[in-house]
Structure 1
Amino acid sequence: MTGVLVEPLTASPMRSLLRHRFSSRVDRALVFLSSEGEDRVVHPRGTSACPYRPPSLTMVRRKAFGQVCWVSLVEHDAAVDAFDRTPDGWLQPSARRTVTWWVSDPVAAARKRLLEQEVPSWIARDLAGRDGASRISGGDPAQADDAAARPGSVRDMECQVPEVGIAYRVHLPAASPLPDSSTRPAVPSDWGDEQRAAYRFYREVVAQGPCSLAALWLLRHPDQAREVLDWTVQNQTLLTDKAEWEHSLVGLLQGLSAADRGFVGIKLAELLSGLGIPHADEVLDRVQGGQSPNTHGYPERQ
């Protein structure tokens, strides 16, 4: 029932009553409205969830009710604009709150012919009244607690709007995430823009490794170029940009004999040829041409 909370009954009231009593649906109530004030409700959660008693079969048979309808009990989420009252009595938007609301009094919602799109404005009006009541005390904590302690208060996070038969629950705003100290280290609050910019610059230089640091040192001390050159020659392992697997592969190949390296080369060329790498067959033929016939006990190429 999108947008419609109250839907007139189009089937037989007696049949609908019997089917609803034995139904497993919990998302709607069957409401019987009477002009004599004998309103009745068949609530899927029983009389404990609703102050109205269900009708008897005799009442339904003699058509004691002027209107019968379905009322949705589904929970809805909505964004509601909260208002503050100015000193001169006007209301002005103050915040946007997220609420979950539902029909708590099916009879009131049915008599009001409530629509889903009307609910946020009712909640906003109720929030404004509750916030105003909490400020009547002028900041007196005892009176503020009394105002907030009544049933359905904002502090209880569940409020009633009896005029239209709905209840709502206000969601507290999510806490702001803490900054990630591992990626964004905190800097002193008394630093100026120049110090912060210098810090970011040097942090990036350090993150880029010894090459950037050596270049920065040479930029600041060009007269020490000979010392920087000697340092780079002596520390080539720190300045190379090879991955660890490359070092491991080079060490493995260096430990193989010439025949073993030739076999590895053939197998690699075969693999590249099978993957469709251009010129792989040409390289394979050239590598195989430089090898003697199968004298190492390795299997022939299939």
Structure 2
Amino acid sequence: MSDDSAERLYYRTARSPRWEIVGHRWSASRDWALVLRDATGEYFVLGRRGDPDDAGGYVPMPDEAAAPPLRGHYTDGFRVDVTEHVDTRAIGLPTVYGTESVELWVSWWVHDPVRVVRTKTVHGWHVIRTYLTTALRHLAETQAVAGNGLGAPEIMQHLGVPQRLEEAGLSYRVFDVRLRDNGEELLLGQGENEGVRYSWTTSRRGEYEFCLQALHAGPASLAALWLLRHPDQVRQVLDWAVDHQDLLSPPLTDWQEELASLLGTLTDQERKEISYLLRDRISALGRPVPGMAD
């Protein structure tokens, strides 16, 4: 990944513009473009313009600058980096389990070398990151207004194709969303003091079914789910389980206790006779009885 403090998108050439033209035309490298400026302020460019071949949405750039003639009178020459860069942006997505930390993997590149030189865009990732943050906030607000959640599928759907920053001559796209452990992140979809605000989407139907089963299973299942999300809180969960035995193992009612106590005092023969009576009674009520033929 690139480092803004060390990498520049362009730099002024040391050789004469004429030698730079010859050098570029003889060079087989497509990693840089040559931008020249003449005495009238007009710009010329040699090299690739537009998207990388594998960017997923190639659109040719308009020829704002012509190729420089060898015998032109140029005052300045610039080498512009047109390779594809990769950086990451950490964000926090709201889910039913709390804020989920993910990293967006972002590919970005120069699609207009002349515009980069004109705007003096020395470090591209800083510009891309600013525009990406704005795009993510706008997407989160749009999803919230529509009553939908914001997750990896929505981000990839809207930002997975090349996004053009025409005024800067840069383009970017999000090509992956991955879980991360910790670090500085942009919180989306909620304020600092707000609880998690979340709406179910079709892509999270499985999460909904899972949570529904956990709720039906009762406190023990919810405690296990909490421990799964917070494995460092084993002691707290165990202490809670000890202090809330009444929730994990609900006490029997009075009649259940009396019946269990009575059955415990009967002999084997007496229990067998009662089981026969109970079987006949249940069968008379029209209920199926295990062990009885239809």
- TM-score normalised per structure 2: 0.44
Instruction: Looking at secondary structure, tell me which structure has more strand per residue.
Output: 2
Of the two, which has the highest radius of gyration? 1
The structure with higher relative contact order (CA 8 Å, sep 6+) is: 2
